[in-house]
Amino acid sequence: MSIFRKKNKKVSAHAAINYKGKLLTDKTPFAVTESFKTLRTNLLYTTGQSNCPVYGVTSTYQNSGKSLISANLAIAFSMLEKKVLLLDADMRRPVQHRCFDLPNKKGTSELFSGLATIDEVVQRVERYPFLEIITAGNIPPNPQELLAGENAHKCFEQFKDRYDLIIVDLPPTSMVSDSVAVSAMVTGYLYVIRSGEDDTVGVKRTIDFMEQMNCRVLGTVLNGVDLKTGKYYGRKGKNYQYYRRNGDTAD
Ligand SMILES: Nc1ncnc2c1ncn2[C@@H]1O[C@H](COP(=O)(O)OP(=O)(O)O)[C@@H](O)[C@H]1O
Ligand SMILES: [Mg+2]
């Protein structure tokens, strides 16, 4: 499956990738901030008393808004004065350094390759004191192996001593194994759908695939809904359904 939506002209609307002014601040419109607070609450309910939950954010295609949602969700959690780590694990198409205007000389790829320590890669931004960020670093030849490797496991164990909560910005699932590779370290996945762009078939196929791979999908985020009208559209005019794993409970 391609990471790009098939014959979807609208993707070009996001060709000019831009994160400026899209991070939560005290100037963000109320409805947007509230959406992230609601998402935050729902996730906390879903994972209950989990010690340092790890939320992986993924989608079927690129440009669904995974990275922006990861960043804003991490900010929303940090506003609760929880120590939050935002890990850019999309080593093929890293963006968190652009969201937060940070250097990206060393990051996840160096950490998971054993070329750098956590202290050497962690970065902070003044505006969000409870948030720490690990940018993706240099693009490695083998992201999937790095994500599933022993070093990554060890790092996640160490993260759990340092943080209350971790958000992992993942590649799209159509890069098949990259996002699934971290499943052993992820408490649950948040699955992002871009309103008006992602097709129902692609979405359903991904959710089914993730279930087969025993990935726990905690919930979906429908990104890009018109807040004034509340309208959202699927391709060919079909509305999306919300997917939930059979047997999932709220505990
Ligand atoms: N709800 C939204 N409103 C406005 N712009 C958005 C929204 N979600 C994402 N974007 C923009 O779309 C582009 C792609 O988002 P990104 O988070 O990088 O997607 P992904 O990580 O899924 O590839 C970026 O320019 C981002 O700022
Ligand atoms: Mg991304």
Domain count, the chain: 1
Output the residue whose Cα is nearest ligand 1's atom 6. 65
Q: For residue 144, how far is its CA from the centre of ligand 1 (angstroms)?
A: 23
Q: For residue 49, how far is its CA from the centre of ligand 2 (angstroms)?
A: 28
73 belongs to a structural domain: yes
From the CA of 17, give the closest atom in ligand 1: 25
Strands 188-194 and 131-134: unpaired
160 belongs to a structural domain: yes
pLDDT tens-digit map of 72-87: 999 999 999 999 999 9
**Which residues constitute the domain of residue 58?**
52-193
Q: 174 or 39, which is more confident?
A: 39
CA 50/CA 187 separation, integer angstroms: 8
91 belongs to a structural domain: yes
Average pLDDT over residues 137-155: 94
CATH number assigned to the domain comprising residue 114: 3.40.50.300
43 belongs to a structural domain: no
- 98: which residues sit within 8 A by CB, 6+ positions away? 17, 19
144 belongs to a structural domain: yes
Question: 178 with 170: CB under 8 angstroms?
Answer: yes
Given pLDDT bands bounded at 50, 70 and 90, which one contains residue 101?
very high
Given pLDDT bands bounded at 50, 70 and 90, which one contains residue 108?
very high
What was the pLDDT predicted at 97?
A: 97
| Per-chain residues with Cβ under 5 A from ion ligand 2 | 66-67, 90
Is the predicted pLDDT of residue 167 greater than 50, yes or no? yes
pLDDT tens-digit map of 195-223: 888 888 888 888 888 888 888 999 999 99
Question: 54 with 91: CB under 8 angstroms?
Answer: no
Of the chain, the percentage scoring pLDDT greater than 90 comes to 61
Helix (H) or strand (E) holding 216: none
From the CA of 90, give the closest atom in ligand 1: 21
Q: Is the CB of 35 inside a 6 Å radius of any atom of ligand 1?
A: no
From the CA of 192, give the closest atom in ligand 1: 22
Alpha helices, DSSP H only, in the chain? 30-47, 66-78, 96-99, 108-113, 118-121, 143-148, 150-162, 177-181, 200-212
209 belongs to a structural domain: no
233 belongs to a structural domain: no
pLDDT tens-digit map of 151-163: 999 999 999 999 9
Q: How many CB atoms neighbour CB 4 within 10 A? A: 13
121 belongs to a structural domain: yes
Q: Is the CB of 67 inside a 6 Å radius of any atom of ligand 1?
A: yes
